[in-house]
Amino acid sequence: MAQEHDPLTRLAAALLAATLLGGCSLLGPPQPQSPARVAVPPAAPGASAPLAITPSPAAEAPAQQAPAPTRQYLLGPAVRSLVTQAHAQVAHGDLPGASASLDRALRIEPTNPLLWIELGRLRLAENDAHQAEGCGRKALALASGDKSARAQAGRVLADALRAQQRNQEAHDLESQPWMN
């Protein structure tokens, strides 16, 4: 008489077998090792010389730094619509409505520095320089690789610092090469 198994047990057994037979590895493919040459220095007569391992010529070449990747941040369609709505709300004097629209946009794309720049500008319009400073710093941290976004974030941050009478800090920030 054949022993019956419930469907869940059969599924678990099939998954286990597929994993074992498929050679599934969580470690990924093996990383190539740089080849090494073994050099044997000349030994003094009667002395045993230790072996020295020297790297191959390929490993001796200095590592060249690749240029920093460039990136351009864009707004997705839904977020673009919310930012447009926020701009219209600001134009009509509805700063709380604009803030709510930008908050919704940030829930969709929280790591987009362009949204943090927009929120920083709104906070400046609301005369909340401390919040604007935080938004500018957040945007600056997220904008790596996008020169334009980085410069815009720097301008928001500098304006927020000036609004707090921290003019020297704003000047120092604006004198950074990436701000031009």
**pLDDT score of 67:** 53
- Residue 150 · residue 140 · CB < 8 Å: yes
Look at the pTM and tell me if it is higher than 0.75.
Answer: no
CATH code of 77-179, in short, is 1.25.40.10
Percent of the chain with pLDDT over 90: 53
Question: CA angle, 123 as apex, 143 and 113 as ends, to 5°?
Answer: 15
pLDDT at 133 over 50: yes
**How much of the chain is helix, strand and coil, in % rounded to 5?**
60, 5, 40
**pLDDT score of 35:** 41
- Residue 113 · residue 149 · CB < 8 Å: yes
Lowest average pLDDT, out of 17-21, 79-83, 114-118, goes to 17-21
Q: What pLDDT band is residue 59 in, cutting at 50, 70 and 90?
A: very low
Which has more confidence, 16 or 143?
143
Distance CA 103, CA 95 (A): 12
Question: CA angle, 121 as apex, 120 and 125 as ends, to 5°?
Answer: 115
- Residue 138 · residue 154 · CB < 8 Å: no
Distance CA 171, CA 151 (A): 14
